[in-house]
């Protein structure tokens, strides 16, 4: 069943899978030629690693917590995706600094990206929690016509037959090119453990010096509970043609280590075995629990 990609609703473009209903070959070709500015800021993640959360934080940092510019604009419009132009935005006319989100693997970033020292924030999360979150996400995405069992989904995830491809390839692609980039690596778990310090870390990286009060406001607006109920932050503004929010939500649990409630010992061992070699060459810290 893993060779059957069509009924998963995925589009394969230059070796990587995309959500079919939300992009096209034409758009991805267009993005490849996007003109980049030195002032651009990219938020890059593998799916289900805390993207929406980071979009919220980043856009609040740039609006200095006043919500000026964020109070009536949803977070996709504040930090739009480049490969999924769900808002039909004209990126060229956007004022600087432009904030962008992306799940693109490094090798598919716009060609011009390599000619600029723009800033990139790469958020990553332990792959077992990513996989579980991804599994639940498939239930709400209408494009995935056939619902897979947990067991089947593990196989899909471990063979990279999910959108954005194999988790370890994604992280490795970005990590091994870090010397050529102005990039901050930050983990989902670190953000869970100490949101305030994470906000400060990100703001310093993007050269935004915030006072304590502003940091407090941002932290408050970026908590799981607040975001879950904030219609501009919780992605429920997305089209019901693409998403079925009766079956779940983007903000599901927001915890670390939930994989232990779902993976059997055998599944976890198989996962470790498969990713062990790939993880060995990545000198990054992975937090399976906190």
Q: Answer yes or no whether residue 51 interacts with ligand A3P by CB under 6 A.
A: yes
Q: Answer yes or no whether residue 131 interacts with ligand A3P by CB under 6 A.
A: no
CB 231 to ligand A3P: min, Å: 14
Q: Answer yes or no whether residue 63 interacts with ligand A3P by CB under 6 A.
A: no
Binding residues among 206-225 for ligand A3P as defined by CB under 6 A: 222-224
Pairing of strands 16-19, 41-45: unpaired
Q: Answer yes or no whether residue 153 interacts with ligand A3P by CB under 6 A.
A: no
Q: Answer yes or no whether residue 76 interacts with ligand A3P by CB under 6 A.
A: no
DSSP string over 130-147: HHHHHHHHHHHBTT--SP
Residue 175, Cβ density class (10 Å: 0-12 exposed, 13-18 middle, ≥19 buried): middle
Q: What is the DSSP letter of 36?
A: P
List of residues 6+ apart from 280 with CB closer than 8 A: none
What phi and psi values does residue 17 have, to the nearest 5 degrees?
A: -90, 145
Is residue 103 annotated as part of the catalytic site, yes or no?
A: yes
Q: Answer yes or no whether residue 257 interacts with ligand A3P by CB under 6 A.
A: no
Q: Answer yes or no whether residue 45 interacts with ligand A3P by CB under 6 A.
A: yes
Q: Which of 149, 135, 123 is nearest to 259 (CA)?
A: 135
Residue 146, Cβ density class (10 Å: 0-12 exposed, 13-18 middle, ≥19 buried): exposed
Integer angstrom CA distances of residue 249 from 73, 89, 115, 165, 236: 20, 25, 38, 22, 8
Q: For ligand A3P, which stretch binds (CB under 6 A), given 32-40, 46-54, 90-98, 157-165?
A: 46-54
- Count of residues that bind ligand A3P according to CB under 6 A: 21
How far is it, in rounded angstroms, from Cα 204 to Cα 169?
A: 28
CB 251 to ligand A3P: min, Å: 4
Q: What is the x/- site pattern for ligand A3P, positions 159-198, by CB under 6 A?
A: ----------------------------------------
**Which lies closer to ligand A3P via its Cβ, residue 205 or residue 224?**
224
Contacts to ligand A3P by CB under 6 A: 45, 47-53, 129, 133, 136, 222-224, 227, 250-254, 258
Write out the catalytic residue numbers: 103
């Amino acid at each position: 069943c893993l060779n059957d990609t069509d009924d998963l609703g995925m589009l394969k473009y230059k070796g990587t899978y995309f959500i079919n209903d939300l992009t096209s070959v034409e758009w991805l070709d267009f993005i490849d030629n996007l003109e980049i500015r030195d002032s651009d800021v990219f938020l890059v993640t593998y799916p289900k690693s805390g993207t929406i959360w980071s979009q919220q934080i980043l856009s609040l940092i740039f609006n200095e917590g006043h919500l000026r510019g964020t109070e009536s604009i949803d977070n996709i419009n504040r930090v739009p995706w480049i490969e999924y132009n769900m808002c039909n935005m004209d990126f060229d006319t956007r004022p600087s600094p432009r904030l962008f989100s992306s799940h693109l693997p490094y090798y598919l970033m716009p060609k011009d990206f390599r000619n600029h020292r723009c800033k990139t924030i790469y958020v990553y999360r332990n792959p077992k929690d990513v996989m579980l979150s991804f599994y639940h996400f498939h239930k709400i995405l209408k494009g995935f016509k056939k619902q897979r069992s947990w067991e089947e989904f593990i196989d899909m995830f471990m063979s990279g037959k999910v959108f954005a491809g194999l988790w370890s390839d994604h992280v490795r692609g970005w990590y091994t090119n870090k010397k050529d980039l102005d990039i901050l690596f930050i983990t989902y778990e670190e953000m869970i453990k100490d949101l305030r310090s994470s906000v400060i870390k990100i703001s310093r990286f993007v050269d935004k010096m915030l006072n304590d009060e502003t940091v407090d406001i941002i932290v408050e607006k970026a908590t799981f509970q607040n975001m879950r109920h904030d219609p501009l932050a919780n992605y429920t503004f997305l089209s019901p043609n693409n998403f079925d929010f009766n079956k779940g939500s983007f903000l599901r649990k927001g915890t670390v280590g939930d994989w232990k409630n779902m993976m059997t010992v055998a599944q976890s061992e198989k996962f470790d075995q498969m990713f062990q070699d790939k993880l060995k060459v990545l000198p990054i810290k992975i937090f399976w629990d906190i």
